[in-house]
Amino acid sequence: MSTDTAGRLQGIAFRAFIALVFAFLLLPVLIVLITSFTPQSFPVIPQEGFSLKWYDELLTDEQLLNALTVSLIVATASAILSAIIGTIAAIGFVRGEFPYKEQIANVMLLPMIISPVITGIALVRYFSQINLPSGFPALVLGHTVLSLPYVFLLVRSELLTYDQDLERASRVLGADPMTTFRHVTGPIILPAILAGAFIAFVVSFGEFTATQFLIAPGTSTVPVVIYTMLRTGLTPTINALSVILIVVMLVVALASRKLSTS
């Protein structure tokens, strides 16, 4: 067998392997998508016909719509807070000099490393000490803690890699620090800030484990409501909601990718 033929066969085998991996990863999503259009009361494959019945039911399900509203509010608020706090922290860690800077930076990444169960318990204990009520305040602050490291990492990496001579030139030309940040540093790191905010939104929107400790009546998020519904039985309404969430997450992911590469 010639070298060219062997190379082509290896390429075909590699592409086939990649296709199998993607098929394995996407098959559950495809099943959810297909069964969301079933006319039957229980999602099965093969299904009999095509129907938008469960999407109609989703639009009239007050519990799911309320949970969706709560998730959107909490995810948006925590993403904004994470973007603000994470950017300020990243600038402080890159520009400032203080003892144990790297060790403290590693501590800031702990919410990404330790179990959300431990984080949830710790947040509940802390919020009870400062008399912070459960519900929206606890959810927003708790999700900010969980999503902040992503913004911090992205903005810090951007600050470490871009040319700081641009800032020095701005200062030499007479600009004060705020003007330099507004016209030089800010526009350069803005894609990283926005990408981090989008990731924070996705993390908050899908967070379930720690959220269980922070909710109050009327402030359940979508993951918590879905889990509660699954305990009583799987219905195609959950699949319809899942399809909508998948579409939302895809839009957010594509927007984040576009911003991070712009």
pLDDT of 76? 92
- Over 60: is that where the pLDDT of 221 sits? yes
Q: In sequence order, which residues have a C-beta less than 8 Å from that of residue 149 and are 6 or more positions away?
A: 86, 108, 109, 110, 111, 112
**57-61, 65-69, 162-166, range with the lowest pLDDT:** 162-166
CB atoms inside a 10 Å sphere around CB 214? 26
**pLDDT band (50, 70, 90) for residue 77:** very high
Report d(CA 69, CA 75) in Å as an integer. Answer: 10
**pLDDT band (50, 70, 90) for residue 149:** very high
pLDDT of 168? 74
pLDDT digits (tens, 9 = 90+) for 3-24: 667 667 777 888 888 888 888 8
Q: Which domains does the chain have, with CATH numbers?
A: 60-260 (1.10.3720.10)
- Quote the distance between the C-alpha of residue 185 and its chain's center: 25
pLDDT of 31? 81
Report d(CA 253, CA 148) in Å as an integer. Answer: 18
pLDDT of 91? 87
- State the pTM of this model: 0.80
Q: Which of 160, 168, 191, 24 is nearest to 93 (CA)?
A: 160
